[in-house]
A and B are shown apart, each in its own frame.
Chain A
């Protein structure tokens, strides 16, 4: 069965821009995704540095794709699409 890896950036900018709330994803993951989504924290995905003023934290990496301005709803929607 296909599984998805969700990396939540816990770097400074991401954390204060909302990734602290994204940590709740693990608790509220709908049962239909159970066992198919692996949620982990990441020290820094490096996006804020590389994007400069276009930076839009918090960032979440879903498999190989980067999602900016991430919210719980956005991440769940993305997972739904991928699965």
Chain B
């Protein structure tokens, strides 16, 4: 199973920083997710939640048992002198690809677990802090099945709408459940990215004047069959291997993209599939897309990859419709991305008289794959050919 995970947040109205913090890390066959809600809002809450989430993630990643790691944090979180409550709350999940998941929660709303349109419930094992007797942590050990989902949210989501005419007591956990189940009924295959965004947007929409009274965060985990994608960029180092790799590309089971004019020519020649040009149009400052039967995306190589790297690093508010924007969309709509990186280089790209400096393909792909892994939590493999 592939663990599809994403989160979406809204800031408290008039604040310039998020008071909730979401962090995750994918390691071999396992994903660790932490959502922390810092006391108060704005920068102060941001620092508190960021520290809590980051420390927890590091502890669990370093091999601490989730219960032990969370206990250390629970016992060490300072108490706010004014409100007499801890500086932050948290939910932590250690989820394996075989479906086993260990969940620890302290202070956050209880997670939501869905299976085939129904809500599942499970009993918690309670751990009380030995230092702060009013602090309790719930530990859950559950077994997820394919297509199960877990939703975590901060109290900003469950309290959304509090005091309004229609929702005097706020949305509540049941309100979030109702929305999620409806959404899943309309679109059972919805990605974690879309589900978390729509749930957070919904919570914001029930707030008076659509102004969030607290930070709203929704984290979605979806155990699904992975969406595989293959990107072929650069011609193979040895011409004699062109046929072999072109066939490997053809036989790949998943979405396919080619980044590179020469690469497209090589695959076209070996598989006898023509590359068709689309009608010329001005697509920003990048070469247009091409078309090939059986290939989902065909772009130019290094300029497009370099721009896609920029978009991944500093995401524009709306991803442009140019070739790089389409490539980024291709990446983000996949879970497991394999890169076949041809090692043959085109000497004309290193002509010193070129007006722009071209990056080295291998380096750009390495940076893209690192970002996809670390920032976008994708599973990436690189194969140099």
Contact = CB atoms under 8 A, between A and B. Distances in A.
Interface stretch (B197-205, B345-353, B377-385): B345-353
Nearest to A43: B261
A41 B346 contact: no
A52 B347 contact: yes
A67 B265 CA distance: 20
25 contacts: A10-B288, A10-B300, A11-B300, A12-B287, A12-B301, A12-B302, A12-B349, A13-B348, A13-B349, A16-B354, A16-B355, A16-B358, A20-B287, A41-B277, A41-B290, A42-B277, A43-B261, A43-B298, A43-B300, A44-B264, A46-B262, A49-B346, A49-B347, A52-B348, A55-B348
B262 A11 contact: yes
B267 to A, nearest CB: 11
Interface in B324-351: 346-349, 351
B305 to A, nearest CB: 10
Given A41-B277, A48-B348, 20 more contacts: A10-B261, A11-B261, A12-B301, A12-B349, A12-B358, A13-B349, A15-B287, A19-B287, A20-B285, A39-B280, A40-B277, A41-B278, A41-B287, A43-B265, A44-B261, A48-B346, A49-B262, A49-B348, A51-B348, A52-B348
Interface of A: 7-13, 15-17, 19-20, 23, 26, 39-44, 46, 48-49, 51-53, 55, 57
A15 B354 CA distance: 11
A54 to B, nearest CB: 10
A43 B275 contact: yes
Contacts of A16: 303, 354-356, 358
B81 interface: no
Interface string B250-287: 00000000001110110000000001011010100101
- Among A42, A53, A57, the one with the most B-chain Cβ atoms within 10 Å of its Cβ is A42
Interface of B: 260-262, 264-265, 275, 277-278, 280, 282, 285, 287-288, 290, 298, 300-303, 346-349, 351, 354-356, 358
Contacts of B290: 41, 43
A43 B354 CA distance: 19
Contacts of A44: 260-262, 264-265
A23 B70 CA distance: 59
A48 B280 CA distance: 22
Contacts of B354: 13, 16-17
A41 B302 CA distance: 18
- Among A15, A43, A52, A53, the one with the most B-chain Cβ atoms within 10 Å of its Cβ is A43
Contacts of B262: 11, 44, 46, 49
Contacts of A23: 280, 282, 288
Contacts of B355: 16-17
B303 to A, nearest CB: 6
Contacts of A10: 261, 277, 287-288, 300
The 7 closest A-B pairs by CB, nearest first: A44-B261, A48-B348, A11-B261, A10-B287, A43-B261, A41-B277, A13-B348
B145 to A, nearest CB: 45
Given A12-B346, A13-B348, A46-B265, A41 B303 contact: no
Nearest to A42: B277
Contacts of A49: 262, 346-348
B300 A15 contact: yes
Nearest to A53: B347
Nearest to B348: A48
A13 B330 CA distance: 25
B280 A12 contact: no
A52 B290 CA distance: 25
Given A13-B346, A13-B354, A55-B348, A8 B265 contact: no
A20 B278 CA distance: 15
